[in-house]
Amino acid sequence: MVVPSPTSMIRTKKTKAVGIPTIDLSLERSQLSELVVKACEEYGFFKVVNHSVPKEVISRLDEEGIEFFSKNSSEKRQAGTSTPFGYGCKNIGPNGDKGELEYLLLHSNPISISERSKTIAKDHPIKFSCIVNDYIKAVKDLTCEILELAAEGLWVPDKSSLSKIIKDEHSDSLLRINHYPPVKKLGNDNWDPSKIQNSNNNNIGFGEHSDPQILTILRSNNVGGLQISTHHGLWIPVPPDPSEFYVMVGDALQVLTNGRFVSVRHRVLTNTTKPRMSMMYFAAPPLNWLISPLSKMVTAHSPCLYRPFTWAQYKQAAYALRLGDTRLDQFKVQKQEDSNDSHSL
């Protein structure tokens, strides 16, 4: 059943309760597929419990993250600056976006992981790459299970039409570990004019955005800060749960479902006392994969909303824009009236 978790229930002005759906993966399959579709349609976001990712696989990556981020900054910089893979601090992407965080960004390809491990975990590179590979394998299986349930719930004839994109050996999936140190709020006795200019941003750990990929599988330590935006533009805080996963619909899945699922906008606010650590698996197609709505999702009532593009083209568009920009607009099919207008000019 999709159960809005009580801790995440908040009320709007009309006192309608909104809560984050929680899906118990031990439920019966036909029920599960309906729940996945409903949650993806309503929020583009849900929590999964009773998943198959072993506890040790999670705790080992946690320990590596804690060990890495506790190093001093010159040691961390030796891991290699993120261009885009490696260690990054405060800079998000190439276009001047800033956040109150540091992170490790890795490609999911085992060869790339093995190369990066030599600088990230100099004294135990093989152990580090095994831990990262094990985590990626387990969350990739979870992603594929969710995508197969989604395809079933959408009555797509080939149940693997979404999961096979991720299973492809050239998939461009990524792993990111974010670390948000506590940020003290400015008091009157701590007046810093240079900070006043950015006073609106003071508590933004990671600015509002949607993820470009198909699906994001997120978990964090016990420190909150993540918020998702509802279709009505309301921000809902996501209660942290170190042993479970949150699932986010990304832009590519919005296109594959012809807009039936909408990618979730989200952001992270910093905590004033405790550090947040989160790890995200971004499930993506191979670079040359042509992304267009699944044929089952295009009907006379739901005409095709997006023109086909490769994942490489989409990434290029994403990296040319700012974090919070809506990147899908440039891939929308022009409406008939719009194209008539342009002819008459």
Ligand X SMILES: O=C(O)CCC(=O)C(=O)O
Was 209 annotated as part of a binding site? yes
Partner whose footprint covers residue 226, from Fe ion, ligand L4NPZUNZ, ligand X, none (CB < 5 to 8 Å by kind): ligand X
Binder of ligand L4NPZUNZ out of 174, 215, 223, 262 (CB under 6 A): 174
Three-state SS at 112: helix
Residue 158: exposure state from Cβ atoms within 10 A (0-12, 13-18, ≥19): exposed
Distance, in Å, from the CA atom of 97 to the CA atom of 103, rounded to the nearest integer, reads 14
Total H helices, total E strands in the chain: 10, 16
* Dihedral sign, Cα of residue 324, residue 330, residue 331, residue 332: positive
Q: Does 226 bind ligand X (CB under 6 A)?
A: yes
Q: Does 330 bind ligand L4NPZUNZ (CB under 6 A)?
A: no
Buried residues in 302-329 as b, exposed as e (16+ CB within 10 A): eebbbeebebeebbebbeebebebebbe
Q: Does 323 bind ligand L4NPZUNZ (CB under 6 A)?
A: yes
Three-state SS at 214: coil
Name residues contacting ligand L4NPZUNZ, limited to 269-308 (CB under 6 A).
Answer: 282
In this structure, are strands 215-220 and 22-24 parallel, antiparallel, or unpaired? unpaired
Q: Report the nearest approach of ligand L4NPZUNZ to the CB of residue 220 (Å).
A: 14
The one-character DSSP state at 2 is: -
Q: Which is nearer to ligand X, 53 or 156 (CB)?
A: 53
Q: Which is nearer to ligand X, 150 or 218 (CB)?
A: 218
Distance, in Å, from the CA atom of 91 to the CA atom of 88, rounded to the nearest integer, reads 7
- Cβ–Cβ < 8 Å for 211, 174: no
C-alpha of 273 from chain center: 25
Select which of 116, 219, 276, 327 is catalytic: 276
Q: Does 181 bind ligand L4NPZUNZ (CB under 6 A)?
A: no
- 276 is an active site residue: yes
Q: Does 328 bind ligand L4NPZUNZ (CB under 6 A)?
A: no
Nearest residue relative to ligand X (C-beta): 278
Q: Report the nearest approach of ligand L4NPZUNZ to the CB of residue 252 (Å).
A: 11
> 85, 304, 93: which is closest to 173 by C-alpha?
85
| Binding string, residues 168-207; x marks residues near ligand X by CB under 6 A | --------x-x---------------------------x-
Q: Which is nearer to ligand L4NPZUNZ, 104 or 174 (CB)?
A: 174
Q: Which is nearer to ligand X, 35 or 175 (CB)?
A: 175
Q: Does 326 bind ligand L4NPZUNZ (CB under 6 A)?
A: no
Name residues contacting ligand X, limited to 272-311 (CB under 6 A).
Answer: 278, 280
Was 211 annotated as part of a binding site? yes
Name residues contacting ligand X, limited to 240-269 (CB under 6 A).
Answer: 266, 268
Distance, in Å, from the CA atom of 289 to the CA atom of 78, rounded to the nearest integer, reads 34
> 242, 88, 86, 75: which is closest to 179 by C-alpha?
88
Three-state SS at 198: coil
Q: Does 211 bind Fe ion (CB under 5 A)?
A: yes
Partner whose footprint covers residue 97, from Fe ion, ligand X, ligand L4NPZUNZ, none (CB < 5 to 8 Å by kind): ligand L4NPZUNZ
Which residues are known to be catalytic? 276
Known binding residues: 209, 211, 266
Which residues would be at the binding site for Fe ion (CB under 5 A)? 211
Known binding residues for Fe cation: 209, 211, 266
